[in-house]
């Protein structure tokens, strides 16, 4: 007598597993060619066409699913990352300073300052990573895409005359030292030309002297910073303790350089406007032109401009353009 056949496992709706075509590893098996068609009530097709939920997250991001050619085209725009000057577009940031002043003259000074920009804090660039480094740290797939693109850039420039052709033909171990341990992303970022993050002007070529991955020319630095003397005269914020109280960012406790967008935000909070204050043109015995200020001009008549301050490391002493944007 033959042993009894084992009872087949069924789902709650009493449909055998092998007829439904669902296995534990997600493969499909023995699908009925008549029932299992798109648009029918086959539960397998319905499960596959259903949108993903939080319990089944996608394996790759949208960027990782793009073709390599499209990803390389995107990475092309990240070789030299760009931001913009406050209140201007990227295209307007490349214009002459006089044209930029005319554009800024029509700015609404009762609106908040332009703070939603990449690398807006000039004094915290050590915490801002190059887009290549940020993408490489996001996933293994993105790291491979960035590394492959940087390998193309390094081999195209080949500043160190490395034997890439010989290594590709006979293997990486055929040359000494071996090229297996090269991190092309790091090599490219060390040797790539340096351009201003805001206006795009060429700054330095390899070997770089005191230049970091994120840097600004002197013109763009002047356009986004103020000295303590300028804050006192243009916004009538006399006591530096007020800057510290409201979290205004600057270089050091003595505020050699102060971030302009923070000063404008503080002025908007105190006076309701980001406009410059005028006292000296009205006379020494006249109050400030800003109604909420009320500071008399004679309080500032005896002060003098401080000596020239030292630039941060990522700012050169000379700018590629002659027209400075200070006070614009």
Question: What residue spans define the domains of the chain?
Answer: 61-83+118-216, 225-299
The average pLDDT across 166-183 equals 81
Contact 218, 97 (CB under 8 A): no
The average pLDDT across 277-300 equals 74
Q: Which two tokens stand for residue 262?
A: 């923070």
Higher pLDDT, 314 or 265: 265
Contact 282, 289 (CB under 8 A): yes
Q: What is the predicted pLDDT for the residue at 317?
A: 56
pLDDT per position as a tens digit, 205-257: 887 776 666 678 888 999 999 999 889 888 988 888 999 999 999 887 788 89
Helices (H), 3-139: 17-20, 43-49, 62-65, 68-76, 97-104, 131-136
Beta strands in the chain (DSSP E): 194-195, 202-204, 225-226, 258-259
Q: Is the pLDDT of residue 320 over 90?
A: no
Q: What is the predicted pLDDT for the residue at 3?
A: 53
Q: What is the predicted pLDDT for the residue at 291?
A: 83
Q: Is the pLDDT of residue 17 over 80?
A: no
- 283 upstream amide cis, omega within 30 of 0: no
Contact 288, 278 (CB under 8 A): yes
Task: Determine if residue 294 is left, alpha or beta; phi over 0 gives left, psi from -120 to 50 gives alpha, anything else beta.
Answer: left
Q: Is the pLDDT of residue 126 over 50?
A: yes
Q: What is the predicted pLDDT for the residue at 7?
A: 53
Alpha-carbon distance 183 to 181, whole Å? Answer: 6
Question: What's the CA dihedral at 177, 180, 185, 189 to 10 degrees?
Answer: 0
Percentage, residues of the chain above pLDDT 90: 31
Confidence of residue 85 (pLDDT cuts 50, 70, 90): very high
CB 145: neighbour CB atoms within 10 A?
21
Q: What is the predicted pLDDT for the residue at 266?
A: 94
The average pLDDT across 120-137 equals 88
Confidence of residue 110 (pLDDT cuts 50, 70, 90): very high
Least confident window among 19-23, 259-263, 275-279: 19-23
Token pair 């700018």: residue: 319
Q: Exposed, middle or buried by CB within 10 Å (0-12, 13-18, 19+), for 50?
A: exposed
């Amino acid at each position: 007598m033959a042993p009894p056949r084992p009872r087949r496992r069924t789902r709650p709706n009493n449909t055998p597993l092998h007829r439904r075509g669902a296995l534990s590893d997600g493969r499909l098996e023995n699908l009925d060619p008549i029932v299992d068609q798109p648009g029918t009530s086959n539960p397998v097709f319905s499960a596959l066409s259903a949108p993903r939920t939080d319990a089944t997250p996608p394996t790759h991001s949208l960027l990782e699913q793009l073709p390599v050619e499209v990803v390389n085209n995107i990475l092309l725009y990240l070789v030299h990352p760009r931001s913009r000057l406050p209140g201007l577009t990227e295209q307007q940031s490349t214009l002459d300073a006089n044209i930029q002043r005319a554009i800024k003259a029509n700015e609404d000074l009762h609106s908040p300052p332009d703070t939603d920009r990449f690398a807006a804090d000039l004094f915290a660039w050590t915490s801002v990573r190059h887009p290549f480094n940020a993408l490489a740290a996001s996933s293994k797939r993105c790291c491979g895409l960035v590394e492959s693109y940087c390998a193309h850039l390094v081999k195209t420039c080949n500043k160190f005359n490395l034997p890439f052709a010989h290594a590709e033909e006979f293997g990486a171990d055929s040359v000494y030292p071996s090229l297996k341990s090269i991190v092309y992303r790091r090599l490219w970022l060390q040797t790539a030309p340096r351009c201003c993050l805001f206006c795009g002007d060429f700054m330095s070529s390899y070997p770089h002297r005191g230049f970091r991955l994120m840097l600004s020319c002197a013109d763009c630095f002047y356009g986004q910073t103020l000295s303590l003397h300028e804050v006192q005269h243009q916004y009538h914020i006399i006591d530096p303790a007020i800057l510290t109280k409201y979290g205004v960012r600057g270089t050091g406790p003595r505020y050699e350089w102060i971030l302009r967008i923070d000063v404008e935000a503080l002025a908007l909070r105190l006076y309701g406007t980001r406009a410059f204050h005028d006292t000296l043109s009205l006379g020494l015995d006249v109050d400030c032109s800003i109604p909420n200020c009320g500071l008399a001009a004679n309080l500032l008549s005896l002060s003098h401009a401080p000596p020239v301050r030292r630039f941060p490391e990522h700012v050169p002493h000379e700018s590629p353009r002659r027209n400075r944007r200070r006070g614009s």
